[in-house]
Structure 1
Amino acid sequence: MALPNRPGMTVPLPGHLHTHRDQLAELADLGYTDIWSAESDGADAFTPLALAAAWEPRLRLGTAIVPAYTRSPALFAQSVASLADAAPGRFAIGIGSSSNVIVERWNGIAFEQPYQKVRDVVRFLRDALDGEKIAKSYDTFEVDGFRLGIRPEERPKILVAALQEGMLRLAGRESDGAIINWLSAEDVATVSGIVADAGREAGSDEDKEIVCRIFVCPSENADVVRAGARRAIAAYLNVGVYAAFHEWMGRGEALSGMWAKWKEGDRKGALEEIPDQVVDDLIIHGSPAECRAKIQAYFDNGVTTSSLAIMPFDPDLDHWQAIRDLAPTAG
């Protein structure tokens, strides 16, 4: 049985966390089913979801994503189990390698063996949530005698953030699905197919969830949006893991000029080298109706759950009005 489409929103929302109760309620009223947090340089991934767990029981909660490196194994399991216990049946933990920038430069942790690290954290969490006493050597860490002292009523879904084939196959083989981002609606068909195939090859008859962070700026001021979008694209797609992903997706030639200028230290020139087509592939913009149609294309190509990220590329954009204009109840 195919999974239902779940329209979600990225959190935290604008403003201080303590002010979000009414906004979360309005998200649910507007037809959004999910909220998805992240963890880089803002709020941690768990606190916004813990508040939502208490304030708005209609929303499912997920992390997209928590880096596999930045919590010790036992603490990771405690964080996951605590939120799953606070919101039984409506929490999913998304885990990913993150990037060398976040892990190494910002957190002072060696960014080594990312595939193995994510795989080991997934396996450890499954072991811990089963309630067993763990004395085991994983490839990237060892746990000796830990038993999780909190048992959620319902086991949370575990999802893997994935870009290229190895991580996508890991997501399909050893988790409940994949979290994807920085890709076009057309790219989704390729990556979701790999996840599904890996699940079937592993003997699973359950459909895999595909959660996608989709970057949206509902504005018809295309020149302004593209200018802002180029800065965001350059910031991400010059990171090694994203550059490799887009080369694999066939954008190597289109992005070669940007990569060359960036390596030379010519940041302005790098922005100018990003073609409009790449911007339009990766960032949804236009009228609200056009944006809703483009979001639907992601679902049509294999996404089961969206996490819309409203991008403030147009200074005249009203963030909350954009949330309303893109809502499942709009149009």
Structure 2
Amino acid sequence: MTQNWGMTIPFYDRSLSKAQDLIAELPALGYTDVWSAEVNGTDGFVPLALAAQWAPQVRLGSAIVPVSTRGPGLLAMSAATLADLAPGRFVLGIGASSPAIVERWNAGTFAKPYARTRDTLRFLKRALAGEKVSEAYETFEVKGFKLERAPKTPPKIVLAALRPRMLRLAAEEADGAITNWLAPADVQKVRAEIGPDTELIARLFVCVDEDTERVRETARWMLASYLTVPVYAAFHDWLGRGEVLRPMHEAWAAGDRQAALKAIPDEVVDDLIVHGDAATCRARIKEYVANGLDTPVLAPLPGAMPIDQAVRELAPEA
């Protein structure tokens, strides 16, 4: 597989409306991909639609769009629109997301996350191929849906996957797996579940800053907010960090946020956040690649170096 080098858009320090010039610069810097996200900022599709015009050479991917915040038909329509804008260059990343995003923020139902993701994948493969779909899946039923204009080139579909069952689904029925919050040494364990031929994509949080203590202080807030989510807690149990993260989980459950932050060991922060000078960060990213990561998707964090400069200095051709 050709080595990819991705960038997360939009950037942390600017709105999408002010990102055009930097996004347009990415191909010349050697970035092959841009990947959006969808939590509580921009949605997963609009940034990619704009990037399709601003940087027409790059591959576009969503990492990820939840399967329970849109109906299956609407999700198919959005994917078809992007596939039409960027034929052969759009990758639809979908996943279960979390109870907070699905239920508390979007008034949806977070139930049977594995089955809902599997069912959505199977529906989308048929719908995006132009089929008329009438099917009673385990988690929803579709009656007579057919895209008015199916894309000439259906997009590849990749799954957010953190543990063996979903990773195997990604390998067996999708076109790749997306993961998050892992160390270089964790890649081999994830890769073992999907085999050598399935694309493995991961978002890597990178802070170009040589002030280690400052980076750790900021990173602890990010780590606590993610690793206390049940799916990520289970992921890191599987990766072998259950005991070392237990004090953090206990303090968080007790409502003591400061104690939870202090309980995250330095080595965990350093494992999961790429930081240091630009050369050190690039070398660390290459460790992920050496261990089996096909597509690192960088997410530069605010630090001593301005983000636009960090984007340039983290490029593979820097």
Could you say which TM-score interval applies, normalised by the shorter chain?
over 0.9
The answer to whether the aligner puts 1:320 opposite 2:287 as a matched pair is no
Q: Does the CA-based 8 Å contact 2:26-2:55 persist in structure 1?
A: no
The answer to whether the aligner puts 1:78 opposite 2:77 as a matched pair is yes
The correspondence for 2:236, drawn from 230, 246, 265, is 246
In 1, the alpha carbon distance for the partners of 2:72 and 2:123 equals 7
Partner of 2:185: 186
1:252-273 deviation digits (Å, cap 9, x = unpaired): 1110110111111110011111
In 2, the alpha carbon distance for the partners of 1:317 and 1:255 equals 30
Partner of 2:294: 304
Give me the TM-score of the superposition, normalised by structure 2.
0.98
- 14-23 or 291-300, larger mean C-alpha shift: 14-23
Percentage of matched positions with identical amino acids = 54
In 1, the alpha carbon distance for the partners of 2:16 and 2:161 equals 29
In 2, the alpha carbon distance for the partners of 1:26 and 1:226 equals 30
1:269-314 deviation digits (Å, cap 9, x = unpaired): 11111001100110011111111010001111111111101122x3
1:51-79 deviation digits (Å, cap 9, x = unpaired): 11122211110000000101101111000
Partner of 1:69: 68
The correspondence for 1:232, drawn from 222, 230, 242, is 222
Question: Could you tell me how far 1:152 is from its partner in structure 2?
Answer: 1.4
Partner of 2:130: 131
Secondary structure in 2 aligned to 1:215? strand
Secondary structure in 2 aligned to 1:117? helix
* Equivalent residues in 2 for 1:167-246, closer than 5 Å: 167-196=166-195, 207-246=197-236
* Equivalent residues in 2 for 1:248-263, closer than 5 Å: 248-263=238-253
1:14-37 deviation digits (Å, cap 9, x = unpaired): 423233322112111111010000
In 2, the alpha carbon distance for the partners of 1:22 and 1:326 equals 17
Secondary structure in 1 aligned to 2:195? helix
Q: CA RMSD in A?
A: 1.0
In 1, the alpha carbon distance for the partners of 2:246 and 2:238 equals 13
The answer to whether the aligner puts 1:329 opposite 2:291 as a matched pair is no
In 1, the alpha carbon distance for the partners of 2:253 and 2:20 equals 44
In 1, the alpha carbon distance for the partners of 2:292 and 2:138 equals 32
Match for 1:5: what amino acid? Q
Give me the TM-score of the superposition, normalised by structure 1.
0.94
1:74-101 deviation digits (Å, cap 9, x = unpaired): 1110000110011001000000111111
In 1, the alpha carbon distance for the partners of 2:54 and 2:208 equals 28
In 1, the alpha carbon distance for the partners of 2:22 and 2:205 equals 20
Secondary structure in 2 aligned to 1:144? strand
In 1, the alpha carbon distance for the partners of 2:31 and 2:233 equals 32
Partner of 2:285: 295
- 263-272 or 7-16, larger mean C-alpha shift: 7-16
The answer to whether the aligner puts 1:272 opposite 2:262 as a matched pair is yes
Question: Could you tell me how far 1:46 is from its partner in structure 2?
Answer: 0.5
In 2, the alpha carbon distance for the partners of 1:259 and 1:242 equals 12
Q: Does the CA-based 8 Å contact 2:206-2:300 persist in structure 1?
A: yes
Partner of 2:57: 58
Partner of 1:36: 35
Question: Could you tell me how far 1:148 is from its partner in structure 2?
Answer: 1.1
Secondary structure in 2 aligned to 1:131? coil
Partner of 2:112: 113
Question: Could you tell me how far 1:132 is from its partner in structure 2?
Answer: 1.4
In 1, the alpha carbon distance for the partners of 2:18 and 2:254 equals 44
Partner of 1:200: none
Q: Does the CA-based 8 Å contact 2:129-2:151 persist in structure 1?
A: no
Question: Could you tell me how far 1:329 is from its partner in structure 2?
Answer: 1.3
Secondary structure in 2 aligned to 1:210? strand
In 2, the alpha carbon distance for the partners of 1:300 and 1:138 equals 39
Partner of 1:94: 93
